[in-house]
Amino acid sequence: MHVYLMFVLVVAFVILVVYLAKVVVLQLEETADNDVMKVKEAYFGIIQRKDDLAQEKKRLQEEANRIFTLYEFTREVTGTFDEAAAFQSFRAHLARQTSFEDCRMLPVPRLSSPSPEKYHGYRFFSLKAKRKVLGELAYKGLPEGDEEIFVILAHQFALALKRIRLYSELERMAITDGLTQLHTRRHFMERFAEEFGRAQLRQSFVSFLMIDLDHFKQVNDRYGHLTGDVILRETARLINENIREIDIAGRYGGEEFCVILPDTDKAGAMLTAERIRSAVREAKIRAFDAVLTVTLSIGAATFPDDARQPDELLDKADWALYRAKKKGRDQVAGFSIYQLEA
């Protein structure tokens, strides 16, 4: 009986030990599984962070490319004052960053175009400076994903266009007489030197007309300076209308004008001068409540017949003008010799 009891106790003890061992093993396995899961989660977390970093790197690279493209484009367009060159730069940078079928610049909004159907299938982008429309871009075949870079470059192009046009206007104002819209004396004399040098180089003719409004002081004294300004503007307009596109007209000072006639001999210069004189003589100039008729005296001189140097040609044209005035005004005189007789 005693032996049997001992046997039972031993078996029970063994069973208990086995059970406890099994419990310990299961706990160890569970702990190991948990550790494995934690390692897996940490691994997947690392992979996810790596993907996130790759995406962020890609985004930063794209943003850097946009900024670099914008910088390069801005640097290029600030180096030109030509609208066509600026547009070609815009189109080239757009082609590097996007894919498109066609892109054109329209000088006016498409609604003003006589043939809007020629732009069928195009999309349009207004180039604006504040509220002023400078023009439009007509484009097609641009993927939706490239719209953002297109808009960025287009806005920058609009700013460049505004700057170019502002510079052109300032340049025009600097060389244009505000009242008559003819060349200022300084710019006119620069052009005169260029044309004279070209005539010397090519051994061709160049003629110079010196023009003066007859009795202009009397007009100012009788009708006032505002009326005198109207007469100066209309006289300048008539001079411009009666010369060629290659001819150059300027305001020499006060009521004096001058015209450079490239590739024009003495006979041609006299014919042009007479055409100008007749046009002004026949015009009825309305200045406020008055309708006035004015006349011109014109002197002409020609290289190489009358002079060999620019100052000499100008002086002889001025002398011919003096002769025209002495002979009674409202006439044309060509230089012959330094004397008052015809």
The secondary structure of 74-125 as a DSSP string is HHHHTT---HHHHHHHHHHHHHHH---SEEEEESS-GGG-S-GGGGTT-EEE
249: Cβ contacts below 8 Å, ≥ 6 apart: 182, 183, 236, 239, 240, 243, 257, 258, 259
Cα(142)–Cα(102) distance, rounded to whole angstroms?
Answer: 8
Instruction: Tell me the residue type at 11.
Output: V
Contact present, 103 and 149 (Cβ < 8 Å) = no
Largest CA distance in the chain: 173
The answer, yes or no, to whether the previous bond of 116 is cis (omega within 30 of 0) is no
Residue 81 φ then ψ, to 5°: -120, 25
Residue in 62, 63, 255, 312 annotated catalytic: 255
Report residue 28: phi and psi, to 5°.
-65, -40
What are the CA-CA distances from residue 277 to residues 107, 212, 280 (Å)? Answer: 39, 10, 5
CA–CA distance, 11 with 4 (Å, rounded to integer): 11
Which of 265, 241, 242, 240 lies closest to 251, judged by CA? 240
Selection from 219, 213, 231, 215 nearest residue 286 by Cα: 231
Residue with tokens 């367009």: 77
Active site annotation includes 255: yes
Question: What phi and psi, each to the nearest 5 degrees, are found at residue 304?
Answer: -100, 5
Question: Active-site residue numbers?
Answer: 255
